[in-house]
A and B are shown apart, each in its own frame.
Chain A
Amino acid sequence: MIPMLMRLKVSRNPKGHGILLPVFLVWILLFALMLVLLPFVLLAALCTWRSGHGKWLLLTYPMLISVLFSLSGLHIEVEQPDENILIAFL
């Protein structure tokens, strides 16, 4: 499942909850951009097929989507004496 929200916290208070960012809006924009770029990617893949790069250009899309769909559950937390940083995909 693609993460819909991202919890972001950059604060001095370790008990702070941070903010919830609606990352699904970013995904909508990203997918729209990918859709717009798709004909150009297909054209570039066709042009570079003989050199062997075309295959990798075509694979970019499914690989990028698989990374986005795997982001759910990623949790990065760094606690320093003067600052706390938390990035978590929900």
Chain B
Amino acid sequence: MSDERKKILDMLQKGRITVEEAEKLLAALDSPDEAKSTVEKPACKYLRIMVEPGPQSEDRDRVNIRVPMKLIRAGLKFAAFVPKHAHASINQALHEKGIEMDFNQFTQQDIEDLVSQLSDLTVEVEGKEKVRICCE
């Protein structure tokens, strides 16, 4: 038995961790690569939006925007300033766009979860213009 396993079982015996926690730790020991890949995921610092002209585009405009994630988080906090009587209009507008979401139930934790999940986001659209949205 390895030292790590002994330590986990020792912590379980002393009541420092629960059975579920011990089970998770033992599972992580069995698949260390998988555990590392979830832990060592680099944090997303910026949201990058790039628009470039496509091969058939007559428009030669290029747009390159880099928005710090901290700014997105800070900006989203302003959602709390939306007056309650406007919530129904927002819900209606979201419904018309096919998004079934209740703005009244939108909490700060939801915003935090939403922003943290942006690190996995990569959008690439190639049409008249090439649009790329990603995290870096």
Contact = CB atoms under 8 A, between A and B. Distances in A.
Label chain A's interface by main secondary structure.
Answer: mixed
B66 A75 contact: yes
B14 to A, nearest CB: 42
Interface stretch (A17-25, A28-36, A40-48, A63-71): A63-71
Contacts, number: 52
Contacts of A63: 74, 77-78
Please tell me the size bucket of the interface on A.
Answer: 10 to 19
Contacts of B80: 56, 59
Interface in A34-90: 56, 59, 63, 66-67, 69-81
Contacts of A71: 68, 71
A65 B81 CA distance: 16
A64 to B, nearest CB: 9
Contacts of B74: 63, 66-67, 69-70
Main SS at interface, chain B: mixed
B61 interface: yes
Contact of B73 (A70, A73, A76): A70
Contacts of B68: 70-74
Contact of A80 (B45, B60, B65, B66): B60
Contacts of B71: 67, 70-71, 73-74
